[in-house]
Protein backbone atom coordinates (compact mmCIF):
# COMPACT_ATOMS: atom_id res chain seq x y z
CA UNK A 1 0.00 0.00 0.00
CA UNK A 2 1.43 3.39 -1.03
CA UNK A 3 1.32 6.59 0.99
CA UNK A 4 -1.51 7.89 -1.19
CA UNK A 5 -3.62 4.75 -0.90
CA UNK A 6 -3.09 4.76 2.88
CA UNK A 7 -4.34 8.36 2.99
CA UNK A 8 -7.67 7.32 1.45
CA UNK A 9 -7.95 3.98 3.26
CA UNK A 10 -11.01 5.35 5.09
CA UNK A 11 -12.88 5.61 1.77
CA UNK A 12 -14.91 2.78 0.31
CA UNK A 13 -14.25 1.14 -3.08
CA UNK A 14 -15.93 1.78 -6.44
CA UNK A 15 -15.73 -0.51 -9.45
CA UNK A 16 -14.64 0.64 -12.88
CA UNK A 17 -18.12 0.04 -14.31
CA UNK A 18 -19.73 2.12 -11.56
CA UNK A 19 -17.15 4.89 -11.93
CA UNK A 20 -17.72 5.04 -15.68
CA UNK A 21 -21.48 5.02 -15.30
CA UNK A 22 -21.54 7.75 -12.66
CA UNK A 23 -18.81 10.12 -13.81
CA UNK A 24 -17.10 9.39 -17.10
CA UNK A 25 -16.55 13.14 -17.68
CA UNK A 26 -14.91 13.04 -21.09
CA UNK A 27 -15.98 16.68 -21.45
CA UNK A 28 -14.93 18.47 -18.31
CA UNK A 29 -13.00 21.22 -16.54
CA UNK A 30 -9.62 20.04 -15.27
CA UNK A 31 -7.67 21.67 -12.45
CA UNK A 32 -4.16 20.33 -11.86
CA UNK A 33 -1.89 20.71 -8.85
CA UNK A 34 1.78 19.74 -8.61
CA UNK A 35 2.61 19.23 -4.95
CA UNK A 36 4.83 17.39 -2.54
CA UNK A 37 3.59 13.94 -1.72
CA UNK A 38 3.35 14.67 2.03
CA UNK A 39 1.13 17.69 1.34
CA UNK A 40 -1.15 15.59 -0.85
CA UNK A 41 -1.43 12.93 1.85
CA UNK A 42 -2.45 15.51 4.44
CA UNK A 43 -5.31 16.79 2.27
CA UNK A 44 -6.46 13.33 1.20
CA UNK A 45 -6.61 12.03 4.76
CA UNK A 46 -9.42 14.53 5.37
CA UNK A 47 -11.60 13.90 2.30
CA UNK A 48 -15.27 13.12 2.84
CA UNK A 49 -15.80 9.54 4.06
CA UNK A 50 -18.41 9.13 1.30
CA UNK A 51 -15.66 9.48 -1.32
CA UNK A 52 -14.95 6.19 -3.10
CA UNK A 53 -11.69 4.91 -4.57
CA UNK A 54 -11.39 2.94 -7.79
CA UNK A 55 -10.50 -0.61 -6.78
CA UNK A 56 -9.83 -3.67 -8.91
CA UNK A 57 -8.80 -7.06 -7.50
CA UNK A 58 -7.90 -5.37 -4.22
CA UNK A 59 -5.57 -2.80 -5.85
CA UNK A 60 -6.12 0.94 -5.58
CA UNK A 61 -3.29 2.33 -7.69
CA UNK A 62 -2.48 1.35 -11.25
CA UNK A 63 0.37 1.74 -13.73
CA UNK A 64 -0.26 3.96 -16.76
CA UNK A 65 1.81 4.74 -19.83
CA UNK A 66 1.09 7.49 -22.37
CA UNK A 67 2.93 7.95 -25.67
CA UNK A 68 2.47 11.42 -27.19
CA UNK A 69 2.74 11.99 -30.93
CA UNK A 70 4.05 15.20 -32.49
CA UNK A 71 5.53 16.50 -35.72
CA UNK A 72 9.27 17.00 -36.26
CA UNK A 73 8.83 20.76 -35.71
CA UNK A 74 6.79 20.05 -32.53
CA UNK A 75 3.52 21.57 -33.67
CA UNK A 76 1.50 20.06 -30.82
CA UNK A 77 4.01 21.34 -28.27
CA UNK A 78 4.13 24.87 -29.68
CA UNK A 79 0.35 25.12 -29.90
CA UNK A 80 0.14 24.10 -26.23
CA UNK A 81 2.96 26.44 -25.17
CA UNK A 82 1.22 29.37 -26.85
CA UNK A 83 -2.28 28.40 -25.64
CA UNK A 84 -3.66 28.33 -29.17
CA UNK A 85 -7.38 27.70 -29.47
CA UNK A 86 -6.96 24.80 -31.89
CA UNK A 87 -4.31 23.01 -29.89
CA UNK A 88 -4.37 19.24 -29.64
CA UNK A 89 -2.69 16.33 -27.91
CA UNK A 90 -2.64 12.96 -29.60
CA UNK A 91 -1.52 10.05 -27.47
CA UNK A 92 -1.87 6.36 -26.86
CA UNK A 93 -2.91 5.60 -23.29
CA UNK A 94 -2.12 2.16 -21.91
CA UNK A 95 -3.51 0.67 -18.72
CA UNK A 96 -0.49 -1.50 -18.08
CA UNK A 97 -1.93 -4.05 -15.67
CA UNK A 98 -5.01 -4.66 -17.82
CA UNK A 99 -3.08 -4.68 -21.11
CA UNK A 100 -5.63 -2.29 -22.63
CA UNK A 101 -4.80 0.72 -24.83
CA UNK A 102 -6.66 3.61 -26.43
CA UNK A 103 -5.67 6.21 -28.98
CA UNK A 104 -6.89 9.55 -27.65
CA UNK A 105 -7.25 13.04 -29.07
CA UNK A 106 -7.57 15.83 -26.50
CA UNK A 107 -8.71 19.28 -27.64
CA UNK A 108 -10.05 22.43 -26.00
CA UNK A 109 -13.73 23.20 -26.20
CA UNK A 110 -15.64 26.32 -25.23
CA UNK A 111 -15.05 27.97 -21.85
CA UNK A 112 -11.81 26.09 -21.28
CA UNK A 113 -13.31 22.59 -21.10
CA UNK A 114 -11.23 19.60 -22.14
CA UNK A 115 -12.77 17.33 -24.77
CA UNK A 116 -11.33 13.82 -25.08
CA UNK A 117 -12.19 11.37 -27.86
CA UNK A 118 -10.73 7.89 -28.04
CA UNK A 119 -10.78 4.60 -29.87
CA UNK A 120 -9.61 1.17 -28.77
CA UNK A 121 -6.00 0.50 -29.83
CA UNK A 122 -3.66 -2.47 -30.00
CA UNK A 123 -1.18 -2.17 -27.08
CA UNK A 124 1.49 -3.68 -29.32
CA UNK A 125 1.24 -0.64 -31.60
CA UNK A 126 1.02 2.01 -28.89
CA UNK A 127 4.29 3.68 -30.01
CA UNK A 128 3.23 4.07 -33.63
CA UNK A 129 0.21 5.07 -35.67
CA UNK A 130 -1.47 2.22 -37.50
CA UNK A 131 -3.61 2.82 -40.59
CA UNK A 132 -6.66 2.91 -38.34
CA UNK A 133 -4.85 5.33 -36.02
CA UNK A 134 -3.89 7.57 -38.92
CA UNK A 135 -7.45 7.64 -40.24
CA UNK A 136 -8.81 8.47 -36.79
CA UNK A 137 -6.22 11.23 -36.30
CA UNK A 138 -6.83 12.77 -39.73
CA UNK A 139 -10.58 12.90 -39.05
CA UNK A 140 -9.94 14.48 -35.66
CA UNK A 141 -7.67 17.13 -37.19
CA UNK A 142 -10.33 18.02 -39.76
CA UNK A 143 -12.87 18.32 -36.96
CA UNK A 144 -10.89 21.10 -35.25
CA UNK A 145 -9.95 22.92 -38.46
CA UNK A 146 -6.41 21.57 -38.92
CA UNK A 147 -5.00 19.97 -42.07
CA UNK A 148 -5.64 16.19 -42.02
CA UNK A 149 -2.31 15.77 -43.85
CA UNK A 150 -0.56 16.61 -40.57
CA UNK A 151 -0.91 12.95 -39.70
CA UNK A 152 1.86 12.15 -42.21
CA UNK A 153 4.43 13.91 -40.02
CA UNK A 154 3.48 12.47 -36.65
CA UNK A 155 5.82 10.30 -34.64
CA UNK A 156 6.25 9.28 -31.00
CA UNK A 157 7.83 12.25 -29.21
CA UNK A 158 7.42 11.70 -25.45
CA UNK A 159 6.45 8.85 -23.13
CA UNK A 160 5.11 9.37 -19.61
CA UNK A 161 4.77 6.70 -16.93
CA UNK A 162 3.15 6.97 -13.53
CA UNK A 163 0.86 5.25 -11.03
CA UNK A 164 -2.66 6.57 -10.57
CA UNK A 165 -5.27 6.49 -7.80
CA UNK A 166 -8.76 7.64 -8.83
CA UNK A 167 -11.40 9.11 -6.51
CA UNK A 168 -15.15 9.52 -7.05
CA UNK A 169 -16.57 12.26 -4.82
CA UNK A 170 -20.13 12.38 -3.46
CA UNK A 171 -20.90 15.33 -5.76
CA UNK A 172 -20.05 13.25 -8.85
CA UNK A 173 -16.71 14.91 -9.53
CA UNK A 174 -13.58 12.82 -9.99
CA UNK A 175 -9.97 13.28 -9.02
CA UNK A 176 -6.77 11.48 -9.91
CA UNK A 177 -3.51 11.37 -7.97
CA UNK A 178 -0.45 10.46 -10.03
CA UNK A 179 2.75 9.30 -8.35
CA UNK A 180 6.12 7.86 -9.49
CA UNK A 181 6.24 10.45 -12.29
CA UNK A 182 8.59 9.63 -15.19
CA UNK A 183 9.13 11.29 -18.59
CA UNK A 184 11.12 9.70 -21.44
CA UNK A 185 11.92 11.53 -24.67
CA UNK A 186 12.33 9.99 -28.13
CA UNK A 187 16.08 9.62 -27.56
CA UNK A 188 15.60 7.68 -24.33
CA UNK A 189 16.55 10.45 -21.87
CA UNK A 190 14.57 10.10 -18.65
CA UNK A 191 13.33 12.64 -16.10
CA UNK A 192 11.86 11.67 -12.72
CA UNK A 193 10.04 13.53 -9.92
CA UNK A 194 9.78 10.85 -7.21
CA UNK A 195 8.82 13.20 -4.36
CA UNK A 196 6.04 15.03 -6.19
CA UNK A 197 2.50 14.13 -7.23
CA UNK A 198 0.04 15.56 -9.70
CA UNK A 199 -3.47 15.92 -8.29
CA UNK A 200 -6.11 16.60 -10.92
CA UNK A 201 -9.75 17.39 -10.25
CA UNK A 202 -12.24 16.71 -13.03
CA UNK A 203 -15.65 18.30 -12.75
CA UNK A 204 -18.46 19.43 -15.01
CA UNK A 205 -17.62 23.04 -14.18
CA UNK A 206 -17.68 24.41 -10.62
CA UNK A 207 -14.75 23.70 -8.26
CA UNK A 208 -15.10 20.44 -6.39
CA UNK A 209 -14.85 19.90 -2.64
CA UNK A 210 -11.30 18.62 -3.19
CA UNK A 211 -10.40 21.82 -5.05
CA UNK A 212 -11.61 23.87 -2.11
CA UNK A 213 -9.67 21.68 0.35
CA UNK A 214 -6.52 22.14 -1.70
CA UNK A 215 -7.04 25.90 -1.80
CA UNK A 216 -7.45 25.99 1.98
CA UNK A 217 -4.10 24.18 2.27
CA UNK A 218 -2.45 26.92 0.21
CA UNK A 219 -2.37 25.13 -3.14
CA UNK A 220 -3.51 26.70 -6.41
CA UNK A 221 -3.89 25.11 -9.85
CA UNK A 222 -0.44 24.84 -11.42
CA UNK A 223 -1.35 24.63 -15.09
CA UNK A 224 0.98 21.67 -15.46
CA UNK A 225 0.82 19.59 -18.63
CA UNK A 226 2.59 16.23 -18.52
CA UNK A 227 3.28 16.58 -22.23
CA UNK A 228 4.12 20.28 -22.36
CA UNK A 229 6.07 20.65 -19.14
CA UNK A 230 7.89 17.35 -19.61
CA UNK A 231 8.92 18.29 -23.15
CA UNK A 232 10.13 21.71 -22.03
CA UNK A 233 12.11 20.20 -19.14
CA UNK A 234 13.84 17.64 -21.35
CA UNK A 235 14.46 20.16 -24.14
CA UNK A 236 15.62 23.48 -22.63
CA UNK A 237 16.25 24.84 -26.13
CA UNK A 238 12.47 25.14 -26.53
CA UNK A 239 10.50 28.10 -25.26
CA UNK A 240 8.84 27.02 -22.03
CA UNK A 241 7.65 30.38 -20.70
CA UNK A 242 4.16 29.03 -20.04
CA UNK A 243 5.63 26.60 -17.50
CA UNK A 244 8.58 28.75 -16.35
CA UNK A 245 7.58 28.69 -12.67
CA UNK A 246 7.40 24.90 -12.64
CA UNK A 247 10.66 24.56 -14.58
CA UNK A 248 12.45 26.81 -12.09
CA UNK A 249 10.78 25.10 -9.13
CA UNK A 250 9.90 21.39 -8.88
CA UNK A 251 11.49 20.41 -12.20
CA UNK A 252 14.79 22.02 -11.18
CA UNK A 253 15.10 19.22 -8.60
CA UNK A 254 14.24 16.40 -11.02
CA UNK A 255 16.70 13.60 -11.63
CA UNK A 256 17.71 12.96 -15.21
CA UNK A 257 19.17 9.84 -16.78
CA UNK A 258 20.88 9.74 -20.15
CA UNK A 259 19.75 7.47 -22.94
CA UNK A 260 21.20 3.94 -22.81
CA UNK A 261 24.64 3.87 -24.36
CA UNK A 262 25.21 7.59 -23.86
CA UNK A 263 28.44 8.80 -22.27
CA UNK A 264 26.39 11.01 -19.94
CA UNK A 265 25.43 9.46 -16.61
CA UNK A 266 22.69 10.29 -14.15
CA UNK A 267 22.53 13.93 -13.09
CA UNK A 268 21.58 14.57 -9.47
CA UNK A 269 19.50 17.62 -10.35
CA UNK A 270 18.83 19.84 -13.34
CA UNK A 271 20.79 23.02 -12.53
CA UNK A 272 18.97 25.40 -14.84
CA UNK A 273 15.54 23.86 -15.34
CA UNK A 274 13.46 23.03 -13.54
CA UNK A 275 -8.82 -0.58 -17.66
CA UNK A 276 -11.73 1.06 -19.24
CA UNK A 277 -14.09 -0.42 -21.81
CA UNK A 278 -12.48 -1.03 -25.23
CA UNK A 279 -14.95 1.14 -27.14
CA UNK A 280 -14.96 4.58 -28.71
CA UNK A 281 -15.97 7.33 -26.28
CA UNK A 282 -17.05 10.71 -27.62
CA UNK A 283 -18.56 13.68 -25.87
Separation CA 208–CA 175 (nearest Å): 9
Residue 268: which pLDDT band, with cuts at 50, 70 and 90?
very low
Separation CA 258–CA 47 (nearest Å): 40
Residue 192: which pLDDT band, with cuts at 50, 70 and 90?
very high
pLDDT tens per residue, range 193-250? 999 999 999 887 788 999 999 999 999 999 899 999 999 999 999 987 899 999 999 9
CA of residue 106 relative to chain centroid, distance = 11
pLDDT tens per residue, range 147-156? 999 999 999 9
What per-residue confidence (pLDDT) applies to 86? 80
pLDDT tens per residue, range 164-176? 999 999 988 899 9
Alpha helices, DSSP H, located in the chain = 3-7, 16-23, 37-44, 75-81, 131-143, 209-216, 226-234, 244-248
Separation CA 160–CA 233 (nearest Å): 13
- DSSP characters for 78-122? HHHHTT-TT-EEEEEEEETTTTEEEEEEEEE-GGG-EEEEEEEE-
Which architecture, in CATH terms, is 3-257? Beta Barrel (2.40)
Residue 85: which pLDDT band, with cuts at 50, 70 and 90?
confident
Amino acid sequence: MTGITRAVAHCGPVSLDALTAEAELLTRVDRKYLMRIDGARAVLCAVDDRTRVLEQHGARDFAYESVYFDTADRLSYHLAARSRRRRFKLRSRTYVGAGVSFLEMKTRGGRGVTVKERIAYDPGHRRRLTEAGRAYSAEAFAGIGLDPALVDGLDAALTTRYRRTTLLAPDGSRATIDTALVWIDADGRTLELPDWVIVESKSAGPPSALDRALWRSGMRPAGISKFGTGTAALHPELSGNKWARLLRGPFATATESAAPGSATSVTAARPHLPAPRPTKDLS
